[in-house]
A and B are shown apart, each in its own frame.
Chain A
Amino acid sequence: MKKIVIGGQIDKEEVKQLVEAYGENRYDISIKNDLDAAMAVKTGAADYYIGACNTGGGGALAMALALLGRQECVTISMPGHVMSDEEIIENVKSGKKAFGFTAQHKEIVIPIIMKALNEQ
């Protein structure tokens, strides 16, 4: 069973619920602080990192960016910009492991991220 860690800074409980709702019971999902979550992906203890904050790139992904590097991370949304569905799917399929977005967009982006992950 693949493991997903919820990192980021805000609305973690809500993010987790959405990830569960769209994860089709395929994942082991746990909430961690952003540092431990990023560390878990780096050490292979978890497969994916999902996190939200107010800006999408800041608290959501800062630790993941720093520990995993930019190649493995993608900012799905930031204030004033949400990636198109196709772009999100393309990013997931290209093997990114950490996904950050603005908490305001969680209902929009999580279903698409999860759909793409389910198809992996």
Chain B
Amino acid sequence: METSKILELVVIALLGGLCAILSNKGIAVFNDGLRPILPEFLEGKIGKKELAATSFALSFGLVIGFGIPVSIGASIILVHSILLMTDIIGSWAPEGKLGLALSGGVGAIYGIGLVLGLQKVVDLFAMLPVNFMPSLSVVGAPIIVAFSIFPAIAIASQHGMKKGAVALGATLLTLVFVKRFGTITLDNGTAIKLSAEGMSLLVGMIFMIIFAMMVKSDGTESNQALVSVFLERVNRIKKNWLWLALTGGLVAAATSLLIIAGDPISLNLLKDAKFNEAALAAFARGIGFIPLVFSTAIVTGVYSPAGTTFAFVAGIALHGNPAVAFVLGALLMFVEVQLLSLVAKALDKFPGIRDMGEHIRTAMNKVLEIALLVGGAMACEQIAPGIGYFWVIGLLLLNRKAKKPVVELAVGPMATISLGIIVNILYLIGLFIPVVAK
């Protein structure tokens, strides 16, 4: 095994092990929904069994139905696949020293298993008679340009259609303009190419932040009130700064090695080595997560192992430099933990920014749902012309009717993977003739 591969496995094992331990100790969990349950357990209001059952119910479906399908084909793992599982591992392991050892061990093995397992799946797919791996990468293709539209969507849902349309116009104009004139040739002949998608995202984000800052405070100080009511819980998080800084560092290091990504948008951008765009998208997502992560942290005393997700931005910015990324990620996490109450209070002053978070996440979600669906349709049609659209649209609508559906985001990737497997079976029994790759 090469040294770089060993380093990757060590980092992922440390990340998996440490995060499972933090979940076991009730210091940090990744699922926003599990966080409010933990204080109930720590205060003895519910038992270990109930905690374990809840964490499984909340997270397992997302690992299988969202994390894994989005990760296959990109050879970068969506972080949900790891951290939602370490939530479960830590809450299943018993309390005390044995629980710590078990969490750490199983978490580490899971991390390694996931990296090697996904690689095995990819290798296996590549060996099939009808190779659909190239098509699988088409699934994420629409994301690469579509993601820059999300600020305009967020603006429209927060401030109305008119402002949304203005932002959309500005974003589109930037996209077209930079595509046409974005290459600057220096005197010595080297050309610098500006990223049209990155620049248009930046313009959209500037609009989004300015509009949000313009919202006047109505004098309510709900975050401030929260901090004073839950002071003890805020202090619990601050007390655990060392553990959290370590996980923050590991998250950044793993991201810088391109083993993990924090969200499907930056994952697909990273896959195409669009680092600046990926960093920007991850940054925007981080802004969207501050209000949610901070407010749940304050009321529960439990943090997220990835914090406000800015550690991912550090990892992307320092890709290829895991050691430096580790230090910066740890530092970022330390700072955000220390600023917890201060930032919460500041959010009261800018209610527009506080509310912007949910609009950012809703908008990103909508963009992803459609982009992955369109990508899935294109990929399926590429695998099996004339059948692909039938399959994707069919699965989408059946899923909507199903009682136990998969997350809509995952329908595109899942449709593509399943169709790939189906055409291989059809090929074996002589019912399908593969398309000759161009």
Chain B residues contacting A9 (CB-CB under 8 Å) are: 292, 358, 361-362
Contact A78 B292 (CB under 8 A): no
CB within 8 A of A70: which of B31, B40, B365? B40
Cross-chain contact B58 with A66 (CB below 8 angstroms):
no
Q: A36-B220, A62-B36, A67-B299 are in contact. Are A78 and B58 (CB under 8 A)?
A: yes
Contacts of A11 in B (CB 8 A): 362
B292 touches A59 (CB 8 A): yes
Cβ of A92 under 8 Å from chain B:
no
- What is the CA–CA distance of A96 and B406 in the complex, to the nearest angstrom? 27
Instruction: Report whether over half of chain A's contact residues are helix, strand or loop; otherwise say mixed.
Output: mixed
Q: How far is the CA of A67 from the CA of B296 in the complex (A)?
A: 10
Against B, the Cβ 8 Å flags (1 = close, 0 = not) of A1-23 are: 00000000111110000000000
B57 touches A78 (CB 8 A): yes
Contacting residue for A58 out of B32, B40, B405, CB 8 A: B32
Chain A contacts for B223, CB-based, 8 A? 35
B354→A33 contact, CB < 8 A: yes
Report the bound CA distance from A54 to B355 in whole Å. 17
Binds A, one of B59-67, B244-252, B376-384: B59-67
Given the known interface contacts A61-B36, A80-B65, the answer about A33 and B46 at a Cβ–Cβ threshold of 8 Å is: no
**Pick the contact of A65 from B37, B157, B354, B407 — CB < 8 Å?**
B37
B216 at the interface (CB under 8 A from A): no
A82: Cβ under 8 A from any B Cβ: yes
CB-based contact A70/B33 at 8 Å:
no
Chain B residue nearest to A38 in the complex (CB): B299
A63 B404 Cβ-Cβ under 8 A? no
| A62 partner residues in chain B, CB cutoff 8 A | 32-33, 35-36, 292, 295-296, 299
Q: Bound state CA distance, A67 and B400, in angstroms? A: 33
On whether the beta carbons of A58 and B33 are closer than 8 Å, the reply is yes
Interface set, chain A 12-63, CB cutoff 8 A to B: 12-13, 33-36, 39, 53-63
Cα separation A39 to B292 with both chains bound (whole Å): 15
What 0/1 pattern do residues 96 to 136 of B give for CB contact below 8 A with A?
A: 00000000000000000000000000000000000000000
Give CA–CA (A35, B57) in the complex, Å.
24
**Nearest Cβ in chain B — how far from A50, in angstroms?**
15
Decide if B33 touches A63 in the complex (CB within 8 Å). no
Inter-chain contacts of A82 with B (CB < 8 A): 403-404
A63 touches B299 (CB 8 A): yes
16 further interface pairs, Cβ-Cβ under 8 Å (given A36-B222, A57-B32): A11-B362, A13-B157, A33-B355, A56-B58, A58-B33, A61-B36, A63-B36, A65-B37, A66-B300, A70-B45, A78-B33, A79-B65, A80-B61, A80-B65, A82-B404, A104-B400
Q: Can you list 7 A-B pairs with a CB-CB distance of less than 8 A? A: A13-B157, A33-B354, A57-B31, A63-B296, A78-B33, A80-B404, A81-B61
A-B pairs with lowest CB-CB distance, top 6: A57-B33, A58-B32, A65-B36, A80-B61, A58-B33, A66-B299
B interface, CB within 8 angstroms of A: 31-37, 39-40, 45-46, 57-58, 60-62, 65-66, 157, 220, 222-223, 226, 292, 295-296, 299-300, 354-355, 358, 361-362, 365, 400, 403-408
